[in-house]
C-alpha cells in the first residue's frame, strides 16, 4: 500500500497541530495548550495497516508560509497528495481571508494532485452553543462549497473535546485503505460466526475505527468514536503504570462487550446481546481469527473475496 501523503492545512491557530497531537501523539485535549505554532512544515510518519504509512504534512498557517507554499514550493508541497485536510476555525474573524487562502490551496492541489480527496473540518465547534451548532455548521458548509469550484468535498464539524474528532479522522483513514469491501466482508462473516450484534476493528495506536460490521441497528451513530475516545484514554492511563493494555470486557443485563488485542496493528471489539453466547467461546473465536485477519490486513489483495471458513455454526460457536 506504501506511503499516503496527507496535507493538513488551515490558517495559524485553527487547531491543526492540536488535533494531530491528540490523534497521533497521545495528547489529551488539556495538554494541547502547551503547543506552539507550527513553523514551516512538520512531517509525521504513522504506520497503519501492513505496509500503509500515513505521511502527514502539518503545514504552518501563517501568511508568510502560504506565500512560500504557493510561489516557491508548489510542486514540493502539493505534488502526490492523496488527501487534503483543510481546517477552518469556526470562530475566525477573517472569513474572507480564510476562504481566499483555501481557494488558493484547492487550485494548487488541483494542478499538482488532481485525484486528491478533500476533507473540510469546521473546527472548534465546542465554542458554539449546542443549539446553534447545526445551523452554524450548515451555513459555513454552504459558504465554503460556493467557493470550491465544484470540487467534491467531505465536511465534518469537529472539536478536540469530544468524539467528533475521532469520527472525522476515522473517515479520512477509512478512505485511504484499499480493498475495504474485502475486509468488511470478512468482518461481517466473523460477526455472523460469533453470533455478535457488531464487530469493530480499531487501529492499535490511535484507536481510530478502521472497519466494522453490524447485524443489529443501533440509534447512536457516534458510539464507535465515543468508545475510541474512552478506551484510548483508559489505555494511556494503563501505560503510565508500565502495564500493557491487552483488553477488557464490559457486561450488564443488556449486552456484553469484548475489546481485545487482535492483530499486529489492531484491536477488535465484539458486541453481543444474545444470552446464548459464552464469554469463553467469543474469546476462542477472536484467538482463532487472528492469523486470518493478520494475513488479510497485510496483503488484502492476495485474498480477493475469498470468505472465512463458515460451516453454519450455531451462534457463538468456534469456527
Q: Tell me what pLDDT residue 311 has.
A: 38
> Range with the lowest mean pLDDT among 38-47, 118-127, 178-187, 247-256?
38-47
Structural domain count, the chain: 2
Local structure of 125: helix, strand or coil:
helix
**Structural domain contains residue 310:** no
More confident residue, 51 or 145: 145
Task: Kindly state the average pLDDT of the residues 203-220.
Answer: 86
Distance separating alpha carbons of residues 102 and 66, to the nearest angstrom: 10
In a shared domain, residues 69 and 172: yes
Q: Is the pLDDT of residue 2 over 70?
A: yes
Q: Tell me what pLDDT residue 51 has.
A: 72
Q: Is the pLDDT of residue 129 over 80?
A: yes
In a shared domain, residues 123 and 246: no
CATH code at position 71: 3.40.50.300
Cβ burial, residue 77 (10 Å; 0-12/13-18/19+): buried
In a shared domain, residues 141 and 32: yes
Mode of pairing for the β-strands spanning 3-10 and 83-89 = parallel
Whole-model pTM above 0.85? Answer: no
- Enclosing domain of residue 269: 180-303
**Structural domain contains residue 309:** no
**Structural domain contains residue 185:** yes
**Structural domain contains residue 313:** no
In a shared domain, residues 136 and 258: no
In a shared domain, residues 47 and 107: yes
In a shared domain, residues 170 and 193: no
In a shared domain, residues 192 and 214: yes
Say if residues 89 and 123 touch (Cβ distance below 8 Å): yes
In a shared domain, residues 192 and 153: no
What mean pLDDT is reported for the chain? 85
Q: Tell me what pLDDT residue 152 has.
A: 94
Q: Choose the most confident range, by mean pLDDT, from 62-71, 170-179, 187-196, 272-281.
A: 187-196
Q: Is the pLDDT of residue 174 over 70?
A: yes
Q: Tell me what pLDDT residue 34 has.
A: 66
> Cell numbers of 227, please?
468508545
**pLDDT digits over 11-62, tens only?**
888 888 888 888 887 777 777 766 666 666 887 887 777 678 889 998 887 8
Amino acid at each position: 500500500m506504501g506511503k499516503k501523503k496527507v496535507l493538513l492545512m488551515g490558517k495559524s491557530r485553527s487547531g491543526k497541530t492540536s488535533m494531530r497531537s491528540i490523534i497521533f501523539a497521545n495528547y489529551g485535549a488539556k495538554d494541547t495548550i502547551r503547543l506552539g505554532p507550527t513553523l514551516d512544515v512538520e512531517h509525521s510518519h504513522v504506520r497503519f495497516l501492513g505496509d500503509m504509512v500515513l505521511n502527514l504534512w502539518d503545514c504552518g498557517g501563517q501568511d508568510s508560509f502560504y506565500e512560500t507554499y504557493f510561489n516557491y514550493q508548489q510542486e514540493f508541497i502539493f505534488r502526490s497528495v492523496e488527501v487534503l485536510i483543510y481546517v477552518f476555525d469556526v470562530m475566525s474573524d477573517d472569513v474572507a481571508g480564510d476562504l481566499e487562502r483555501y481557494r488558493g490551496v484547492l487550485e494548487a492541489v488541483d494542478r499538482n494532485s488532481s485525484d486528491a480527496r478533500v476533507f473540510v473540518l469546521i473546527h472548534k465547534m465546542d465554542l458554539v452553543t449546542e443549539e446553534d451548532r447545526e445551523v452554524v455548521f450548515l451555513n459555513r458548509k454552504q459558504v465554503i462549497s460556493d467557493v470550491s469550484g465544484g470540487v467534491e468535498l467531505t465536511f465534518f464539524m469537529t472539536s478536540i473535546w469530544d468524539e467528533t474528532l475521532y469520527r472525522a479522522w476515522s473517515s479520512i483513514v477509512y478512505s485511504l485503505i484499499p480493498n475495504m469491501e474485502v475486509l468488511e466482508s470478512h468482518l461481517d462473516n466473523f460477526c455472523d460466526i460469533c453470533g455478535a450484534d457488531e464487530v469493530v476493528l480499531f487501529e492499535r495506536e490511535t484507536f481510530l475505527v478502521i472497519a466494522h460490521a453490524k447485524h443489529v441497528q443501533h440509534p447512536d451513530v457516534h458510539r464507535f468514536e465515543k468508545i475510541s475516545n474512552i478506551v484510548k484514554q483508559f489505555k494511556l492511563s494503563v501505560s503510565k503504570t508500565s502495564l500493557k493494555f491487552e483488553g477488557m470486557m464490559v457486561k450488564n443485563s443488556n449486552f456484553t462487550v469484548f475489546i481485545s488485542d487482535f492483530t499486529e496493528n489492531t484491536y477488535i471489539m465484539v458486541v453481543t446481546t444474545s444470552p446464548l453466547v459464552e464469554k469463553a467461546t467469543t474469546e476462542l473465536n477472536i484467538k482463532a481469527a487472528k492469523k486470518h485477519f493478520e494475513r488479510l490486513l497485510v496483503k488484502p489483495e492476495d485474498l480477493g473475496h475469498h470468505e472465512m471458513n463458515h460451516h453454519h455454526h450455531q451462534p457463538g460457536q468456534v469456527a
